[in-house]
């Protein structure tokens, strides 16, 4: 179909030129234009891109930093003492512990959070939560299935339907958004999916430049997902896999650097005083430390499968977890401490670096750390409430705010994406009212300006997109989480390292976000990268993953 459009356009241009010159012309056919058509051009661009990506891969792998990171990782694994024994109780099976990594743990956590509240919520809010969690479960089940393919004729009909929706957009703006649904289905079923996805991304970027966020965000989302699904080259994955150790150690190094800068900027330990004066940018970048730690633990798990010492790997993982958790605790952020511990336990479970008995002990340690940090936080803020009381009050207040957001958003939403756009500081200052962050935006609607308020994971979605948006969002998240969980069991080598690390991080953030919400810039970026990576490795052809074993003594 697109070939015919190219030939028609070419002939129309030649006919116009011939009329101007007063000459005749012979219409061209598709065969005569074959050396110059879009397909050939795309093949040439693909060849040039492949060479460029190979050069980038070799440059990173053979660079001084890459070689140094490989030597550091090998030296740590070789010189670490092998004295950390395992703690295991007979009768407890390791297979039972792996069930704790199921994506359905999010539903269990949400129900447990509701049970902590000291009072009830309205019927509409309760039904909204119930239906949204049900959509998450349906999405998780669909993520385990193989989706049916679409025929060529159906794809052409979908393209016509999408173009019709775009044509009606001047009359009815939401027709363009509706038109993205058949266009996305066309992208996934057509050989022209990649160039069409690029055009959709460009259109979304142009709409953003015109401040058309309501249209720009769906276009960017559909275009990015289309790119991830239609990119068939494994070279992007090979760059990440070959340089996994370098990426993990650099994330930890830069996270530590920004942690030092954050402490130096305020000149005190925020955990023991208060968090006033902390730079949000430095604090956000210091969160690279937990991410790098989780990826490092995943790489250690892979090395044990390749013959490295199991006890040495466990000791290094334990040291990395303790250092990362302590540094995050000194900043006074309980969420990052809990993220480090929870994600580390999840990724260690998937690599069998931790036993089910140690999971129970770790859970007790996590509860103890949360208790200590809550007591210290209560002391520094002057709020004299008990630990259990603070949990019940916080859960009840958070659900109350969600109740207000659910009624404000209704079925189709009230702010139409503005709360989520406030995650970008440059956009937040353009919002009406006092709103320098999504949680402050929520506080403004709750009638308490100047402070931050949490409204559960569903609160920002409800006020932005309503009940319909909550159902769609939770269904999509459930689908992606299930797909990621499948990849942790079906991939191998360093590809599995990334799959397990990203899944552990997203599941940990999802569980912790039940109360805090997923409205932090770095969290949304992590979820976006994890979901796109999942779609990408689902679409590329299976390759011989020998990168993970290449240079076992000089990994980079």
Q: Give the mean model confidence (pLDDT) for residues 212-232.
A: 86
CB proximity list for 15: less than 8 A, separation 6 or greater:
25
Q: What is the pLDDT of residue 554?
A: 39
Q: Name the most confidently modeled range: 15-19, 154-158, 164-168, 276-280.
A: 164-168
Q: Give the mean model confidence (pLDDT) for residues 111-140.
A: 92
In which element (H, E) is residue 57 found? helix 38-61
Condensed to tens digits (0 to 9), the pLDDT of residues 109-118 reads 999 999 888 7
Return the number of other C-beta atoms located less than 10 Å from residue 415's C-beta. Answer: 21
Q: Quick one: three-class SS letters along 307-342?
A: CCCHHHHHHHHHHHHHHHHHHHHHCCCHHHHHHHHH
CB proximity list for 392: less than 8 A, separation 6 or greater:
116, 117, 118
The SS3 assignment for 518 reads coil
CA distance 193 to 200: 10
**334, 373 in Cβ contact below 8 A?**
yes
Q: Name the most confidently modeled range: 146-150, 169-173, 190-194, 461-465.
A: 461-465
The SS3 assignment for 142 reads helix
Specify the higher pLDDT residue, 545 or 508: 508
Residue identified by tokens 């447990």 is: 112
What's the mean pLDDT when you consider all of the chain? Answer: 83
Residue 166, in any domain of the structure: yes
CA distance 324 to 343: 12
**454, 439 in Cβ contact below 8 A?**
yes
Residue 175, in any domain of the structure: yes
Residue from 496, 244, 542 nearest 350 by CA = 496
CA distance 96 to 128: 32
Beta strands in 140-195 (DSSP E): none
Residue 142 backbone class (left: φ over 0; alpha: ψ -120 to 50; beta: rest): alpha
CA distance 44 to 41: 5
In which element (H, E) is residue 187 found? helix 174-189
Specify the higher pLDDT residue, 381 or 143: 143
In the predicted structure, residue 542 carries a pLDDT above the cut 50: no
Residue 196, in any domain of the structure: yes
What's this model's pTM, rounded to 2 decimal places?
Answer: 0.86
Residue 172, in any domain of the structure: yes
Residue 127, in any domain of the structure: no
Structural domain including 221 reads 152-230
Contacts 24+ apart (CB under 8 A), 67-76: 67/554, 67/556, 69/245, 69/246, 69/249, 69/250, 69/556, 70/245, 70/246, 70/551, 70/554, 70/555, 70/556, 71/554, 72/249, 73/245, 73/249, 73/299, 73/555, 74/553, 74/554, 74/555, 76/316
Residue 195, in any domain of the structure: yes
Residue 189, in any domain of the structure: yes
Q: How many domains does the chain have?
A: 1
Residue 181, in any domain of the structure: yes
Residue from 311, 288, 291 nearest 300 by CA = 311
Confidence of residue 39 (pLDDT cuts 50, 70, 90): low
């Amino acid at each position: 179909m697109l070939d015919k459009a190219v030939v028609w356009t070419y002939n129309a241009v030649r006919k116009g030129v011939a009329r101007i010159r007063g000459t005749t012309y012979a219409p061209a056919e598709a065969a005569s234009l074959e050396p110059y058509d879009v397909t050939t051009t795309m093949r040439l661009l693909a060849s040039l891109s492949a060479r460029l990506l190979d050069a980038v891969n070799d440059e990173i792998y053979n660079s001084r930093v890459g070689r140094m990171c490989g030597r550091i990782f090998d030296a740590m694994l070789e010189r670490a003492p092998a004295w950390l024994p395992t703690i295991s109780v007979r009768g407890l099976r390791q297979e039972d512990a792996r069930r704790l990594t199921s994506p359905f743990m999010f539903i269990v956590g949400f129900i447990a959070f509701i049970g902590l509240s000291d009072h009830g919520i309205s019927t509409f809010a309760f039904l909204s939560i119930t239906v949204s969690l049900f959509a998450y479960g349906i999405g998780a089940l669909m993520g385990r299935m193989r989706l049916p393919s679409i025929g060529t004729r159906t794809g052409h009909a979908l393209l016509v339907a999408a173009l019709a929706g775009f044509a009606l957009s001047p009359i009815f703006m939401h027709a363009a958004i509706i038109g993205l649904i058949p266009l996305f289905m066309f992208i996934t079923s057509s050989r022209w999916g990649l160039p069409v996805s690029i055009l959709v991304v460009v259109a979304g970027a142009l709409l953003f430049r015109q401040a058309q966020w309501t249209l720009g965000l769906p276009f960017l989302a559909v275009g990015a997902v289309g790119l991830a699904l239609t990119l068939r080259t494994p070279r992007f994955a090979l760059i990440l896999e070959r340089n996994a150790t370098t990426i993990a150690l650099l994330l930890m190094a830069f996270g530590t650097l920004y942690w030092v800068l954050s402490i130096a900027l305020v000149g005190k330990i925020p955990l023991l005083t208060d968090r006033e004066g902390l730079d949000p940018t430095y604090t956000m970048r210091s969160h690279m430390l937990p991410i790098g730690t989780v990826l490092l633990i995943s790489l250690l798990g892979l090395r044990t499968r390749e013959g490295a010492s199991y006890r040495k790997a466990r000791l290094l993982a334990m040291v990395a977890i303790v250092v990362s958790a302590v540094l995050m605790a000194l900043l006074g952020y309980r969420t990052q401490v809990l993220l480090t511990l929870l994600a580390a336990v999840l990724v260690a479970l998937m690599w069998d670096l931790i036993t089910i008995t140690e999971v129970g002990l770790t859970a007790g340690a996590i509860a103890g750390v949360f208790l200590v940090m809550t007591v210290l936080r209560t002391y520094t803020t002057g709020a004299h409430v008990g630990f259990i009381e603070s949990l019940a009050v916080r859960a009840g207040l958070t659900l109350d705010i969600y109740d207000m957001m659910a009624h404000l958003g209704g079925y189709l939403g009230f702010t139409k994406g503005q709360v989520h756009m406030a995650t970008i500081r440059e956009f937040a200052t353009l919002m009406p009212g006092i709103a320098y962050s999504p949680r402050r935006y929520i506080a403004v609607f709750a009638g308490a300006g100047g402070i931050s308020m949490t409204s559960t994971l569903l609160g920002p979605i409800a006020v932005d997109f309503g009940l319909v948006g909550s159902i769609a969002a939770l269904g999509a998240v459930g689908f992606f989480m299930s797909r990621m969980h499948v990849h942790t069991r079906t991939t191998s080598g360093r590809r599995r390292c990334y799959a397990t690390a990203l899944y552990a991080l997203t599941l940990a953030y999802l569980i912790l976000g039940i109360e805090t919400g997923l409205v932090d810039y770095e969290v949304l970026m992590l979820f976006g990268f994890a979901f796109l990576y999942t779609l990408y490795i689902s679409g590329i052809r299976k390759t011989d993953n020998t990168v993970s074993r290449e240079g076992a003594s000089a990994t980079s």
